[in-house]
């Protein structure tokens, strides 16, 4: 029952009205820089810790 309720909710999520796209004010380059600086504050600045870079494809690597 819970699964069906969640499925129904997610199927109708677009019609809720409170999930409108926000204006895009950052370039990809700016977003990379901002995210990298935030992650550096948490995890440290060593290059091998976490690297953020722009890509035109979908890539995920948690190694």
For the segment 12-55, what is each residue's pLDDT rounded down to a tens digit? 887 777 777 788 899 989 999 999 999 999 998 887 788 888 88
Closest residue by Cα to residue 40 from 27, 50, 31: 50
pTM of the model: 0.54
**26, 42, 44, 48 from 39: Cα distances, Å:** 18, 5, 7, 12
Domain that holds residue 58: 23-63
Does any domain span residue 15?
no
Domains in the chain, number: 1
- Residue 32: inside a domain: yes
Confidence of residue 59 (pLDDT cuts 50, 70, 90): low
| pLDDT of the residue at 58 | 67
The span from the CA of 33 to the CA of 41, in Å, is: 13
11 located within any domain: no
| Dist. CA 38–CA 33, nearest whole Å | 9
Answer for the pair 32, 52: CB distance below 8 angstroms, yes or no: yes
pLDDT, residue 35, reads: 94
């Amino acid at each position: 029952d819970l699964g069906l309720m969640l499925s129904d909710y997610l199927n109708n999520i677009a019609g809720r009205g409170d999930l409108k796209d926000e204006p895009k004010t950052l370039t990809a380059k700016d977003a990379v820089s901002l995210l990298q600086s935030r992650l550096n504050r948490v995890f440290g600045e060593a290059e091998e810790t976490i690297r953020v870079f722009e890509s035109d494809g979908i890539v995920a690597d948690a190694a």
